[in-house]
Amino acid sequence: MMNAGKRGEQLVQRKLEDLGYVVHNANIIFRENCPNIDLVVYGVSGATYVQVKSSANPAGKGHITIDGSTWNPQQLDGTEPIYNKKVGLKASFIVLADLEDDAAPQFRYTACSSV
């Protein structure tokens, strides 16, 4: 059985491809694990690094668990990142995938700040 993270990446990739984008797995392109990015999405004006966060068992109705640990004060006030925590390539776009209903996954997205 596939974990929610991999399943979320596949569903987001398929959704973006259905919308007409060319999408590749970042780990395959760079031939190594890319901890901050999961997908590279190609559009008319260039490529975008995307991080996918997904959950099949949300912490509450209509919620997706982004980071299972308690957020520190710096994350709460926006001076430390919630995404792009690792050294290396950084995602400029985050897609949240709610996989609670596998037949009808829900997607939300946000652009990353410079933090």
How many domains does the chain fold into? 1
Q: What is the pLDDT of residue 102?
A: 74
* Token pair for 29: 């392109």
Q: What is the pLDDT of residue 60?
A: 62
The enclosing domain of 17 has a CATH number of: 3.40.1350
Taking residues 86-111, report their average pLDDT: 84
The pLDDT mean for the chain works out to 82
User: Is the Cβ–Cβ distance between 40 and 49 less than 8 Å?
Assistant: yes
Query: Using one digit for the tens of pLDDT, what is the confidence trace for 5-46?
Result: 888 899 999 999 999 999 999 999 999 888 899 999 999 899
Distance of CA 17 to the CA centre of its chain: 16
Instruction: List b or e across 86-111, with b for residues whose CB sees 16 or more CB atoms inside 10 angstroms.
Output: eeeebbbbbbbbbbbeeeebeeeeee
Which domain range does residue 93 map to? Answer: 4-111
User: Is the Cβ–Cβ distance between 107 and 101 less than 8 Å?
Assistant: no
* Token pair for 110: 């946000």
CA 50 to CA 73: how far, in whole Å?
Answer: 26
Helix (H) or strand (E) holding 23: strand 22-25
User: Is the Cβ–Cβ distance between 34 and 27 less than 8 Å?
Assistant: yes
